[in-house]
Amino acid sequence: MIFVTGPLFAGKAEYIQKALGLDDAAFAACSARDVQELVPCADLEVLADELAEKSVVIATEIGGGVVPMEAQARLKREQAGRLACLLAARADTVIRVCCGLPELLKGEWPCASG
């Protein structure tokens, strides 16, 4: 599994779709996007295991900036960060994309031919 993370509107999906040479339909079939929206949930380990079955998992980093005052928003932020850690541990490749520029954090660069 390839795990791609980075800030909102940073070009995460566009980068990995192009790197893998996938059209929109093929990319939609093999990927899970905006997985940070799936929290809070009861069991992050189970969620991470389910998501790891996809070829590509994309999450937006939501842990930076001002800490929310609302308890539910803080819980979502914390669980999103924990989910990202679980996904990174399960991934063969981890890439952070910021401003459309990829940074390889783990594994090998993906390419359309392999």
pTM higher than 0.85: yes
Q: Is residue 48 part of a domain?
A: yes
Average pLDDT along the chain: 94
Q: Is residue 13 part of a domain?
A: yes
38 Cβ contact list (under 8 Å, min separation 6): 47, 51, 83
Q: Is residue 31 part of a domain?
A: yes
Task: Give 113's pLDDT tier (boundaries 50, 70, 90).
Answer: low
Task: Give 114's pLDDT tier (boundaries 50, 70, 90).
Answer: very low
Tens-digit pLDDT profile for residues 50-87: 999 999 999 999 988 889 999 999 999 999 999 999 99
Q: What is the CATH number of the domain that holds 23?
A: 3.40.50.300
Q: Is residue 113 part of a domain?
A: no
Percent above pLDDT 90 for the chain = 88
User: How far lies 38's CA from each of 34, 77, 79, 81, 104, in Å?
Assistant: 8, 11, 10, 12, 25
Task: Give 42's pLDDT tier (boundaries 50, 70, 90).
Answer: confident
89 Cβ contact list (under 8 Å, min separation 6): none
Burial class (CB in 10 A: 0-12, 13-18, 19+), 25: exposed
Q: Is residue 22 part of a domain?
A: yes
Supply the pLDDT for residue 41.
79
Q: Is residue 57 part of a domain?
A: yes
Q: Is residue 111 part of a domain?
A: no
pLDDT at 6 over 50: yes
Q: Are the C-beta atoms of 105 and 95 separated by less than 8 Å?
A: yes
Q: Is residue 76 part of a domain?
A: yes
Q: Whole domain around residue 58: which residue ranges?
A: 2-106
Q: State the total domains in the chain.
A: 1
Q: Is 11 left (phi over 0), alpha (psi -120 to 50) or beta?
A: left
